[in-house]
């Protein structure tokens, strides 16, 4: 029985290593992307032009049509608790270069008083890590940069947390 238990643990660890590697690859593919929450785009509007106008007017970042590779509304599942008319679907934006994406993210602080927010496009696994950290009693603040999930602990220490890692495991690494 002990041998089977060790084998199962070994297989689980191997699966986690592969899942983390796949997650890193998927996150790398999203390095030029952002999600804009709360930006209203009409059905008949060109999403790319709406995003371009919004970035230029609200964030004061000068961009052209060639700087945005793609912009589209992310389809969401209907939510029975919220009315469809009041829900604004997020907009995915893919920039032609990461430097421009980083400028947009840096200037998102100009949106503090609005109902619009800009976030990195995270994989599901990284989003789960971020949410888990936000709910942790040890964590004061969380953020992401270039797809890496980071936290400021209540003891003042900054850590970077990988998928399947606990805060305690991160503390033991340092």
Nearest to 115 by CA among 91, 80, 88, 148: 88
The confidence band for 83, taking pLDDT boundaries of 50, 70 and 90, is very low
**One domain for residues 100 and 19:** no
Indicate whether this model's pTM tops 0.85: no
**One domain for residues 117 and 130:** no
**One domain for residues 85 and 141:** no
Residue 102, Cβ density class (10 Å: 0-12 exposed, 13-18 middle, ≥19 buried): middle
**One domain for residues 56 and 20:** no
- CATH code, 74: 3.30.70.1820
Nearest to 98 by CA among 131, 145, 130, 144: 145
Report the number of distinct structural domains present in the chain.
2
Q: Write down the pLDDT at residue 173.
A: 78
**One domain for residues 101 and 133:** no
The domain boundary, picked from 88, 103, 121, lies at 121
- Mean residue pLDDT of the chain comes to 91
- Give per-residue pLDDT as tens, 19-45: 999 999 999 999 999 999 999 999 889
Over residues 42-59, mean pLDDT = 94
Q: Which residue range(s) make up the domain with 144?
A: 1-30+122-174
Please report, rounded to a whole number, the percentage of residues in the chain having pLDDT higher than 90: 80
Give the number of other CB atoms < 10 A from CB of residue 99: 9
């Amino acid at each position: 029985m002990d041998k089977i238990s060790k084998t199962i643990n070994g297989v689980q660890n191997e699966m986690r290593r592969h899942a983390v590697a796949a997650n890193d690859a998927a996150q790398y593919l999203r390095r030029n992307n952002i999600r804009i929450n709360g930006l209203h785009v009409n059905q008949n509007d060109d999403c790319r032009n709406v995003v371009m106008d919004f970035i230029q007017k609200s964030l004061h970042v000068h961009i052209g049509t060639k700087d945005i590779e793609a912009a589209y509304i992310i389809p969401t599942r209907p939510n029975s608790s919220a009315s469809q008319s009041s829900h604004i679907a997020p907009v995915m934006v893919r920039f032609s270069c990461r430097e421009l994406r980083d400028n947009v993210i840096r200037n998102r602080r100009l949106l503090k008083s609005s109902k619009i927010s800009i976030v990195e496009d995270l994989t599901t696994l990284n989003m789960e890590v971020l949410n888990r950290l936000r709910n942790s009693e040890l964590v004061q603040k969380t953020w992401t940069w270039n797809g890496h999930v980071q936290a400021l602990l209540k003891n003042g220490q900054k850590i970077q947390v990988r998928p399947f890692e606990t805060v305690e495991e991160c503390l033991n690494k340092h």
